[in-house]
Amino acid sequence: MTQPVEGVSRRTLLGGFAAAWTVTWPRIVTAAERMSVALEARAESAALAPGRQPTRIWRLAGGAPVLRLARGAALDLTLTNGLSIPAALSGRGLAMAAPLIVQQPVGPGGRASVAAAVGGAGTGLLDLRLLADGAAAPIRPLPLIVDEAGPVTADRDEVFLVEDVRLKADGTALAPGTEAGDAELIYTVNGEIQPEIALRAQARVRLRFINGCQRAVIAIKIADIDAVRVMAIDSQPAEPFLARNGAVLLPPGGRTDVFIDMPAVKAPLPVLLHDGTSARPIARLAPSNEPPLRAAPLPPPAALPSNGLPDRLDLGKAVRVELAPDGPDWRPPAQFNASAPPAFQARAGRVVVLALANKASGARVVHLHGQPFRLLDRLDDGWKPYWLDTLALEPGQTQRIAFSAETVGRFLIESVATDWAAPRLVRWYEVR
């Protein structure tokens, strides 16, 4: 298993994933251009189980299955809300106005513009889940890709969005924040049930794993492929390393880019998702009928280009804050009050060390808006070789994270238990 969710035991993992689709990408803009992107929150029908009638779901749509952008581009996002609830747009991998603080929710039938900027290259996500607990239907997010400025040594580039759906006996899909009861649990990949993708032998494939599940920490493993090389996590390049036991762990909203070399096999390779109790197949990588792409595997890939984050953090002069990710100061997003005291404040340019102490009886997931962070070692004397924006915590566990407070403004912190019925909670912090 990979390091990013070191805070989650194997027993609490959900996961496993793989499959892909063929996408016709929209035109990629240059950094000097300004791009207008029309987003729509709308109701759709989806076939989520064999032999059943299509299920009503909600979706954030952007004109293509994946929004693909160039690094440095400026964006004008226009959100049209065709849902029956207010919509608050959140972005992972984009710099944009803070939801609920600067960016106010868009009411049903309304439309609003949100300015955003594309920073570093990586795999991101746009979603409307902040205000969706207990809604009439779950909401599907919109994956996004920000391309590197230079070439990357991969023959294929595939997005793998894993989502979980809870279906009642009458076929109704439940939104999170409600009791699931005996509702059937279904996992989809890019909106499909157990899709299959054909890959040529000796092809190097970049798989962009995205955990679009509502609450679940997931583990992803491709059968018979042990050399799964982690290249980027949460929209930031990592020092390349092999995933432990070939499995990739992802908290809700987490993204991990890996490189694999497709072996010469005769039968499809199952892609497995582990949910903490058992592994289940959710997709397959099938051998192509074409000849091998090359005679032998490529050498290990070089690291992806840096997004410009600092190589080192001065922990000795850091502002230190302990924060429990639940309690009376946390509120559901619908009850958020920006005039409430912040969880913490820091001056621009200072390093901040947050001790996240989960004192609850179950695992929790924390998402920090606005600033990527390092996961510190146990002795607080170093950090893992990657950046994160989301972290899962075991019950009773304290994890320390550190970041350089470079982006000035007010930002949300999200916290949620890894349980379908658990409410999403928020606080805010400020960089001055």
Please report the pLDDT score of residue 417 as a whole number: 97
Which of 147, 176, 201 represents a domain boundary (last residue)?
147
CB atoms inside a 10 Å sphere around CB 353: 19
165 and 143 co-located in one domain: no
Could you tell me the residue range of the domain that residue 169 belongs to? Answer: 156-287
Number of structural domains in the chain: 3
Round to whole Å and give the CA distance between 378 and 60.
39
Is the pTM for the entire model greater than 0.85?
yes
141 and 224 co-located in one domain: no
Please report the pLDDT score of residue 13 as a whole number: 43
Could you tell me if residue 109 is inside a domain?
yes
Asked if residue 18 has pLDDT above 60, the reply is no
227 and 261 co-located in one domain: yes
Cα-based distances in Å from 112 to 65, 79, 101, 259, 383: 22, 5, 15, 38, 40
| Rounded mean pLDDT, 137-160 | 94
**Burial of 265 from C-beta contacts in 10 A (0-12 / 13-18 / 19+):** middle
Which residue(s) pair with 189 in the sheet? 162, 192
- pLDDT top residue among 25 and 402: 402
CATH classification at residue 53: 2.60.40.420
The mean of the pLDDT values for the chain is 90
Please report the pLDDT score of residue 278 as a whole number: 79
Q: Residues of the chain with pLDDT > 90: what percent?
A: 81
Asked if residue 312 has pLDDT above 80, the reply is yes
CB contact burial 315-346 (16+ within 10 A = b; e otherwise): beebeeeebbbbeeebeebbebeeeeeebbeb
CB contact burial 16-35 (16+ within 10 A = b; e otherwise): bbbbbbebeeeeebeeeeeb
Asked if residue 352 has pLDDT above 60, the reply is yes
R_g of the chain computed on alpha carbons: 21
Round to whole Å and give the CA distance between 94 and 75.
10
| Rounded mean pLDDT, 34-42 | 93
Per DSSP, the residues of 221-272 read EETT----EEEEETTEEEEEEEPGGGEEEE-TT-EEEEEEE----SSPEEEE
Relative to beta strand 67-70, strand 74-81 is: unpaired
Write the single-letter amino acid at 421.
A
Measured in degrees and rounded to the nearest 5, phi and psi for residue 5 equal -115, 45
Could you tell me if residue 195 is inside a domain?
yes
Could you tell me if residue 13 is inside a domain?
no
Which of 92, 116, 147 represents a domain boundary (last residue)?
147
Please report the pLDDT score of residue 28 as a whole number: 38
- pLDDT tens string 88-107: 999 999 999 999 999 999 99
- Is 194 in a helix, a strand, or coil? coil
Please report the pLDDT score of residue 33 as a whole number: 65
Q: Residues of the chain with pLDDT > 70: what percent?
A: 92
279 and 343 co-located in one domain: no
- pLDDT tens string 103-120: 999 999 999 999 899 989
Please report the pLDDT score of residue 84 as a whole number: 97
Which of 147, 164, 193 represents a domain boundary (last residue)?
147
